[in-house]
Amino acid sequence: MHVFVEEYLMRLSRSIPVLASVGLLTLALAGCGDDAGGDPGGAAADGKIAVVASTNVWGSVAQAVGGDAVSVESLINDASGDPHAHPDKPEDAIALAGADVVVYNGGGYDDFFTKLVDGTGTEAEQVDAFTISGYADGENEHVWYDLPTVRKVADKIADALGAIDAGQKSRFADNAASFGGRLDALTDTAEQIGKASPGAKVVATEPVAHYLLDAAGVTDATSTEFSEAIEEETDPPVAVVAETTELISDKQVAALVNNAQTETAVTNSLADAASKAGVPVVDVTETLPQGVTDYVEWMTEQLEALSGALSKA
């Protein structure tokens, strides 16, 4: 495996500044040498199972399942990180070289990670959330907002960890079951929102929380043309923007669901329209907010924000 990593880092070094790459490449090749204890799988130095995740969302799920038996590193670990624009970093390849398990979203969302997996030739167990979801290619890729998928991913992580450390297999399974129980409670909360606000409609700046809105029985009234343009990082046609803004200005929707991590002139104009019309804005994010490490806590906060907004309609 280390041969693949060295070749990958050599290719990567040609695409970044020379002085920086020389130092990082030297560290990388040294770090990819024999592990203390001679484990070719690159287990964490503290003896824990090494897990590398594309974002801290999936990292938090892995932590919930693995507990203190795992060492989790998330390559995107801040509230402003964007998987679509994540640059190639030698240190990411180094992290992957030492991984026993890798967890990522897939579905085209975090391509930087899948390219890294392919480029380094890692032999780590792979957990691909979108593939596990069972959704067809081309469907909404934001599956960390799909609670049934998150539960399946937790179970898959438990299986992967149990295969590495058979002595703790039942513990990992129990952790996944406990986590699944907390997800069931979230699903109940979402369903209660739907019952309290039947027929509720919202506009979304981007279909990030699509699956969570669906679980809550909330209709996303945003036009497909608007959503697709924002997803493709292009401006929607002026007429489409006007129609979307009118839904908010005329209070035809109960709230604006805003992806707080992707701001454009268009999405900011929708937020301004909501403010002027007195339409509540519900912020959602693609990674865990600063100071939050628990997936269920994060989802609970967003459901509470949605419930509060809909109750004002």
* DSSP code, position 45: T
Q: How many residues does the chain have?
A: 313
- State the Cα–Cα distance between residues 7 and 121, nearest whole angstrom: 10
- State the Cα–Cα distance between residues 193 and 210, nearest whole angstrom: 15
Domain boundaries, the chain: 2-184, 198-310
Assigned CATH topology for domain 198-310? Rossmann fold (3.40.50)
Q: What is the pLDDT of residue 27?
A: 42
3-state secondary structure of 219: strand
| pLDDT band at 6; cut points 50, 70, 90 | low
Percent of the chain at pLDDT > 70 equals: 86
Q: What are phi and psi of 44, to 5 degrees?
A: -55, 145
Give the CA diameter of the chain.
Answer: 67
CA triplet 153, 4, 103: central angle to 5 degrees? 10
Could you tell me the CATH superfamily of domain 2-184? Answer: Nitrogenase molybdenum iron protein domain (3.40.50.1980)
Q: How many CB atoms lie under 10 A from the CB of residue 21?
A: 18
Query: Do the domains at 2-184 and 198-310 have one common CATH topology?
Result: yes
- State the Cα–Cα distance between residues 82 and 208, nearest whole angstrom: 13
pLDDT in tens, 260-309: 988 899 999 999 999 999 999 999 999 999 999 999 999 999 999 999 99
Residue 17 has pLDDT above 90, yes or no: no
- State the Cα–Cα distance between residues 20 and 251, nearest whole angstrom: 53
- State the Cα–Cα distance between residues 109 and 57, nearest whole angstrom: 13
Q: What is the pLDDT of residue 260?
A: 92
pLDDT in tens, 175-195: 999 999 999 999 999 999 999
Q: What is the pLDDT of residue 7?
A: 52
Average pLDDT, the chain: 88
Q: pTM (2 decimals)?
A: 0.87
pLDDT in tens, 76-110: 998 777 787 788 889 999 999 999 999 999 999 99
